[in-house]
Amino acid sequence: MSKAFDIWIESLAATALPSLPSATGAGDYYPERVVRPNLSSTVAGGKRFHIETFGCQMNAHDSEKVAGVLLERGYRAAENLAQADLVLYNTCSIREKAAQKVFSRLGEFRYASPRKVIAVLGCLAQQEGEEIFERAPWVSLVCGSASYRKLPELLTELEEGGRRVMSLDLDTDETFETEITRRDNPFRAYLTIIEGCDYACSYCVVPHTRGPERSRASDSILSEVRRLADAGYTEIQLLGQTVNSYRDPSPRGIDFVALLRAVAAVEGIRRVRFTTSHPNDFHREIVEAIDEVPALCDHVHLPVQSGSTSILRAMRRTYTRDEYLEKISWVRAASRPISLTTDIIVGFPGETEEDFEETLTLLDTVGYDGVFSFKYSPRPNTTASSMADAVPEEEKSRRLAVAMDRQREIQIARNQKLVGAAFEILVDARHEARGQWAGRSTSNRMVNFTSPRENLLGQYVQVKVTRAGPNSLVGDEVV
């Protein structure tokens, strides 16, 4: 996990993108300025959709809910992109590269079949709005992350012949709930409990793309968890940009810790994870709950962003290095080992060599089990984008490489100590060629292992670790 990544891509139809011809004239393809027919006239029988998702787990889960909305309206999932009548891109704009990637994907549809209707959803849709129609006139639908509730209306407009349908409403206190959610992962169920963000970190577009913070009512969350348990899910991952600032809007008014305990108490649920926690809302009671309730996983993702208090101030992170480290000390004092992961940004405007050195010493001090490290990327509508003292790109790259190397050493040393230990693994994959199963421990460590048994997918098994790498462990099932 120490490698930097700019983008996570998942595809609901799980297909590779076929390359589209870049020339006009061939049967199915047509020049950019030709007006697209509307959705209803392009399809015979059930319309088929394909969603490609960029970005974080919240986006992945939004796509699962969008798929639910489409299925409810009678659409079918396409086997692949080529067969889809409706292609939806659920986008990310957290870093410049993520946004570029979406535009390059859209560019591939310049000459695509008129039978395809193209939609852009999510953070980039919110950020760029109408500009998307200008840059990619073959797009028919633009829907921002805070407007998903309006998706059925937008689809109706499209189906009735609308050519440029858009919703960018940010001013909402509603959350996106669906009758059906088409979950991709049969073992771990994502569940968004809070949307938007009320913080104002100076580098971050999220408050502009996802709108104000709004929590989902606890009754609604708990009834979905019960349904998931009935459907056979044993692991739940609660999601939110600042998941731990959850506040139940219903008269029950429970806080995040009470919700964690209630979800963990649902019969059939064996593991509860949550991400992402903001350090400001990370209280001792969360650690106490993890300590007391076995179903709460031994893992906390607590993004620090920088080890330098002056950079944290410039980032408007609302905590100092020492305050952050105090919270880490609560985690380390728990009666069972809790793994810790974080996010860091290098090359924030004004970050000196000394500031960067403080991030490196923080990595040493905390001893994380994984770090997502990013080069600072200036984003529109953020206060940091106009700050002086920009760090040159090559220097950002150098700092990123240094931070990743340092963290890699830390992970090798930490994982090495686990050789000989046994973990309970929820098995979620089979690597046929290697003859191995794979899954995760409660501490979210990836473990590849061998077993004489068959049909282990979805089962919990005990695995003894025999080897360790920086990002994963290898072992054998204890039989």
* Residues in touch with ligand SAM (CB under 6 A): 56, 94-95, 203-204, 206, 241-242, 276, 278, 303, 305, 343, 345, 374, 376-377, 379
Residue 101 partner contact from ligand SF4, ligand SAM, none using kind-dependent CB cut-offs of 5 to 8 Å: none
How many secondary structure helices (H) and strands (E) does the chain include? Answer: 14, 20
The least distance separating ligand SAM from the CB of residue 272, rounded to whole angstroms, comes to 19
φ/ψ of residue 397, rounded to 5: -65, -40
- Residues of span 109-128 touching ligand SF4 by CB under 6 A: none
The least distance separating ligand SAM from the CB of residue 185, rounded to whole angstroms, comes to 20
SS3 content of the chain, % helix, strand, coil (to 5): 35, 20, 45
Could you say which of 147, 167, 241, 444 contacts ligand SF4 (CB under 6 A)?
241
Residue 207 partner contact from ligand SAM, ligand SF4, none using kind-dependent CB cut-offs of 5 to 8 Å: ligand SF4
Six-digit token string for 429: 């994959």
Q: Does 266 bind ligand SF4 (CB under 6 A)?
A: no
Nearer to ligand SF4, 35 or 200 (CB): 200
Residue 376 partner contact from ligand SF4, ligand SAM, none using kind-dependent CB cut-offs of 5 to 8 Å: ligand SAM
Nearer to ligand SAM, 148 or 376 (CB): 376
Nearer to ligand SAM, 148 or 282 (CB): 282
- Residues of span 150-209 touching ligand SF4 by CB under 6 A: 197, 199, 201, 204, 206-207
DSSP assignment string, 360-421: HHHHHHHT-SEEEEEE----TT-GGGG-S-PPPHHHHHHHHHHHHHHHHHHHHHHHHTTTT-
Distance CA 324, CA 298 (A): 19
* HEC readout, 311-356: HHHHHCCCCCHHHHHHHHHHHHCCCCCCEEEEEEEECCCCCCHHHH
The least distance separating ligand SF4 from the CB of residue 381, rounded to whole angstroms, comes to 11
With b for 16 or more beta-carbon neighbours within 10 A and e for fewer, the 55-77 pattern comes to bbbbbbbbbbbbbbbbbeeebeb
- Burial class of residue 262, CB neighbours in 10 A (0-12, 13-18, 19+): middle
Residue 343 partner contact from ligand SF4, ligand SAM, none using kind-dependent CB cut-offs of 5 to 8 Å: ligand SAM
Residue 374 partner contact from ligand SF4, ligand SAM, none using kind-dependent CB cut-offs of 5 to 8 Å: ligand SAM
Per-residue contact string for residues 277-306; x = within reach of ligand SF4 by CB under 6 A: -x----------------------------
User: Is the distance from CB of 302 to CB of 282 less than 8 angstroms?
Assistant: yes
Rg (CA), the chain: 23
Q: Does 218 bind ligand SF4 (CB under 6 A)?
A: no
What residues line the site for ligand SF4 (CB under 6 A)? 197, 199, 201, 204, 206-207, 241-242, 278
